[in-house]
Amino acid sequence: MPGPDIAAQLDAAERLCTKNGTQLTTLRRVVLDLVLRSTAPLTAYQLLDQLKSTRKSAVPPTIYRALDFLIENHLVHRIERLNAFIPCDADHEHADAQFLICHQCGTVTELEDHGVSDALAAAAAARGFTPSRAMVELDGLCATCAPPDTAPPPAHR
């Protein structure tokens, strides 16, 4: 769902880029604006189609370069399962996140649960593995789509 004040979100992204020594160019800002305004995850080609309404000469590398920058600066996330992009809902300082993907309505909700991240890191370390990032995607039904009498399953221990 788009944020209440997209202009403020774009300004915050600009400040974050400046702080990081990067630049939110006009094109990157336009692509971020498109992602922020969307009510659903967008594929690169959906973004390209929207971008072409104002930039007729836009080609796939144009959108992919902008998306790579936005991902590197923690402004958007790529949802691997959907091969689509959503805005980052967190503080932009994290490397790990979890996503709840409703397979009925297609909504994606971002979580930033440090307990999950810590548990994954500990399990990996116990096996001598050092992760560089952990993106967890959970498929299921959101609260809106789940039948009203459905209780969540008990947690596994």
CA neighbours closer than 13 Å in the CB half-sphere of residue 86: 25
Q: What is the pLDDT of residue 155?
A: 61
Q: What is the pLDDT of residue 154?
A: 61
Q: What is the pLDDT of residue 1?
A: 44
Domain 6-87 coded CATH 2.70.98.20: no
Q: What is the pLDDT of residue 134?
A: 82
Parse the chain into domains and list their residue ranges. 6-87, 97-140
- Give pTM, 2 decimals: 0.83
For domain 97-140, give its CATH number from 3.30.1490.190, 3.40.710.10, 3.90.1150.10, 3.50.50.60.
3.30.1490.190
Q: Do domains 6-87 and 97-140 have the same CATH topology?
A: no
Q: Which residues pair with 98 in a beta bridge?
A: 111, 136
Which amino acid, residue 52? K
Interatomic CA distance for residues 23 and 13, integer angstroms: 10
Q: How many CB atoms lie within 10 A of CB 68?
A: 13
Interatomic CA distance for residues 138 and 126, integer angstroms: 23
CB distance 54 to 62 below 8 Å: no
Helices 44-51 and 60-72: crossing angle in degrees, nearest 10, is 120
CB distance 111 to 100 below 8 Å: yes
Average pLDDT across each block of 10 residues of the chain; the chain has 157 residues. List them in order.
Answer: 76 93 96 95 96 91 96 93 89 74 92 87 94 88 86 59
